[in-house]
């Protein structure tokens, strides 16, 4: 079956799998382990499925064109709904929240959501590690307001230093200088440490690896951490091919040849990036190698889609319809209480056994993993 024949999930109008409604008295513990013993820690919230870029590896122009139907406003979770869900997740052990999309800065008044999430407290009274991933196009305009609303740090995606290559990668002719201005504004606003993510696609931008390293080392020393992401087979539309993946080991060798690197310990369990420091002390780089070195073993992440579906894996074929539990009256005529929602989420995590990246090789050799795949722009990276 060709990749192009696979149906992207949000095109088929799926509401996701029904989540059973727990009895009002059902309670869940504060620490949630899934079936593989992984503890829930990290919630990624997609706030819009729209984007002003058309990166070929994520929202190829020929698929996400003027005929593509994005979600109508009333189907999106409201900020109040998102904050309610996030508060329950914090009760269940989540300590890190990342806002993403689509392009999260396109969601109107996003700083109001940031302010609501920044006010959440852990049972120990601490704030959350609250961050956001953006393509940087609107960051120069919004960095200060985001910081004032309580955002702690940002991750900016940037795939090349060369303007022509960057314009080709984003496929909407967006200039690299505007993203660099956004990074500068984020630093001035105190949104640090800033991470910059570069998706490496062999033959498209791999010769930009060293110019990127050079720029961020020289300009920011350790204040900006550059991370290289292996091009992933996420979604159904990007026409992914293994021969376009440049393995992280190869990226690291190329950098090491010019700027010697030494390995660093992971800062936290479940960290997606392998960290390496420049031997001369001028900062570090990270490698996110979901294709060549799966890191499912300690994956502590769950994703909430723009329209309120929960995905227990980036590569899941179906989401779980939390929005119905939030919005609709249940058979007893009542809406779900916070306790019931928390119990439903806790049950979902307890039943989780996803480890797609570890199984990728096997699945690839057994006629694929089905015909429906969720898009990255829909559930967020």
Per CB under 6 A, residues contacting ligand SAM are 51, 57-58, 100-101, 103, 133-135, 157, 197, 199, 229, 231-232, 234, 238, 376-377, 380-381
Determine which residue in the list 357, 374, 378, 379 makes contact with ligand SF4, applying CB under 6 A.
357
- Identify the bridge partners of residue 309 per DSSP, sorted by sequence position: 321
Among ligand SAM, ligand SF4, none, the one that 234 touches (CB under a kind-dependent 5 to 8 A) is: ligand SAM
Place of tokens 């019931």: 340
* Closest CB to ligand SAM among residues 58, 213: 58
CB-based contacts of 283-286 (< 8 A; 24+ apart in sequence): 283/216, 283/217, 283/220, 283/221, 283/222, 283/223, 283/224, 283/225, 284/222, 284/225, 285/213, 285/225, 285/226, 285/227, 285/228, 285/255, 285/261, 286/195, 286/225, 286/226, 286/227, 286/228
Does residue number 348 form part of the binding site for ligand SF4 (CB under 6 A)?
Answer: no
Cβ 287 vs Cβ 298: under 8 Å: no
Q: Report CA 238 to chain centroid distance, whole Å.
A: 17
Q: Which residues contact 248 (CB under 8 A, 6 or more apart)?
A: 228, 230, 274, 287, 288, 289, 292, 293
Helix (H, G, I), strand (E, B) or coil at 214: helix
* Closest CB to ligand SF4 among residues 220, 315: 315
Q: What is the largest CA-CA distance in the chain?
A: 66
Among ligand SAM, ligand SF4, none, the one that 238 touches (CB under a kind-dependent 5 to 8 A) is: ligand SAM
The answer for 236, left when phi > 0, alpha when psi is -120 to 50, beta otherwise, is alpha
x/- track of binding to ligand SF4 for residues 273-312 (CB under 6 A): -----------------x----xx--x-x-----------
Minimum CB separation from ligand SF4 for residue 268, in Å?
15
* Closest CB to ligand SAM among residues 16, 381: 381
* Residue ranges in 97-126 that form contacts with ligand SF4 under rule CB under 6 A: 101-103
**Residue with the CB atom nearest ligand SAM in the bound state:** 381
Taking Cα atoms as reference points, which of 77, 92, 80, 117 lies closest to residue 34?
Answer: 92
Structure token digits, residue 142: 């919004």
Among ligand SF4, ligand SAM, none, the one that 274 touches (CB under a kind-dependent 5 to 8 A) is: none
Among ligand SAM, ligand SF4, none, the one that 169 touches (CB under a kind-dependent 5 to 8 A) is: none
* Closest CB to ligand SAM among residues 234, 345: 234
Does residue number 315 form part of the binding site for ligand SF4 (CB under 6 A)?
Answer: yes
Minimum CB separation from ligand SF4 for residue 352, in Å?
8
Among ligand SF4, ligand SAM, none, the one that 308 touches (CB under a kind-dependent 5 to 8 A) is: none
Taking Cα atoms as reference points, which of 171, 149, 164 lies closest to residue 57?
Answer: 171
Determine which residue in the list 180, 313, 336, 344 makes contact with ligand SF4, applying CB under 6 A.
313
Helix (H, G, I), strand (E, B) or coil at 31: coil
Integer Cα distance of 117 and 99 in angstroms: 10
| 3-class SS letters over 248-290 | HHHHHHHHHHHCCEEECCCCCCCCCCEEEEECCCCCEEEEECC
Stretch that binds ligand SF4, among 16-24, 95-103, 323-331, 340-348 (CB under 6 A): 95-103
Q: Which residues contact 170 (CB under 8 A, 6 or more apart)?
A: 53, 54, 55, 135, 159
Among ligand SF4, ligand SAM, none, the one that 232 touches (CB under a kind-dependent 5 to 8 A) is: ligand SAM
Minimum CB separation from ligand SAM for residue 22, in Å?
32
Does residue number 355 form part of the binding site for ligand SF4 (CB under 6 A)?
Answer: yes
Minimum CB separation from ligand SF4 for residue 320, in Å?
15
x/- track of binding to ligand SF4 for residues 28-67 (CB under 6 A): -----------------------x-xxx--xx--------
Residues of this chain that interact with ligand SF4 (CB under 6 A) are 51, 53-55, 58-59, 101-103, 135, 157, 290, 295-296, 299, 301, 313-315, 354-357, 377
């Amino acid at each position: 079956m060709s990749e192009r024949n696979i149906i992207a999930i949000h095109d088929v109008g799926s509401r996701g799998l029904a989540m059973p409604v727990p009895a009002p008295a059902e309670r869940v513990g504060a620490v949630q382990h899934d079936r593989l013993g992984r503890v829930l820690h990290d919630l990624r919230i997609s706030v819009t499925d729209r984007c002003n870029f058309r990166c070929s590896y994520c929202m190829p122009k020929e698929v996400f064109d003027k005929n593509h139907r994005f979600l109508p406003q009333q189907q999106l979770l409201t900020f109040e709904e998102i904050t309610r869900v996030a508060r329950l997740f914090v009760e269940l052990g989540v300590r890190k929240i990342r806002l993403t999309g689509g392009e999260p800065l396109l969601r109107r008044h996003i700083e109001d959501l940031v302010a609501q999430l920044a006010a959440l407290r852990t049972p120990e009274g601490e704030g959350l590690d609250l961050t956001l991933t953006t393509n940087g196009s609107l960051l120069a305009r919004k960095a200060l307001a985001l910081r004032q609303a309580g955002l702690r740090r940002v991750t900016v995606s940037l795939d090349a230093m060369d303007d022509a290559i960057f314009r080709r990668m984003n496929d909407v002719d967006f200039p690299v200088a505007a993203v660099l201005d956004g990074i500068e504004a984020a630093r001035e606003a105190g949104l640090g440490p800033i991470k910059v993510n570069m998706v490496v696609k062999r033959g498209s931008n791999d010769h930009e690896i060293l110019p990127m390293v050079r720029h961020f080392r020289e300009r920011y020393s350790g204040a900006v951490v550059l991370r290289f992401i292996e091009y992933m087979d996420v979604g159904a539309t990007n026409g992914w091919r293994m021969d376009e993946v440049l393995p992280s080991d190869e990226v690291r060798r190329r950098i090491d040849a010019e700027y010697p690197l030494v390995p660093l310990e992971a800062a936290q369990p479940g960290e997606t990036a392998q960290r390496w420091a420049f031997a001369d002390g001028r900062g570090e780089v990270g490698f996110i190698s979901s294709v060549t070195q799966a890191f499912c073993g300690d994956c502590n992440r769950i994703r909430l889609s723009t329209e309120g579906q929960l995905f227990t894996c980036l590569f899941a074929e179906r989401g779980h319809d939390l929005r119905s539990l939030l919005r609709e009256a249940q058979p007893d005529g009542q809406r779900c209480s916070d306790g019931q929602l928390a119990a439903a989420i806790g049950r979902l995590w307890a039943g989780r056994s996803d480890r797609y990246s570890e199984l990728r090789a096997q699945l690839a050799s057994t006629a694929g993993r089905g015909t429906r795949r969720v898009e990255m722009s829909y559930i967020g990276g």
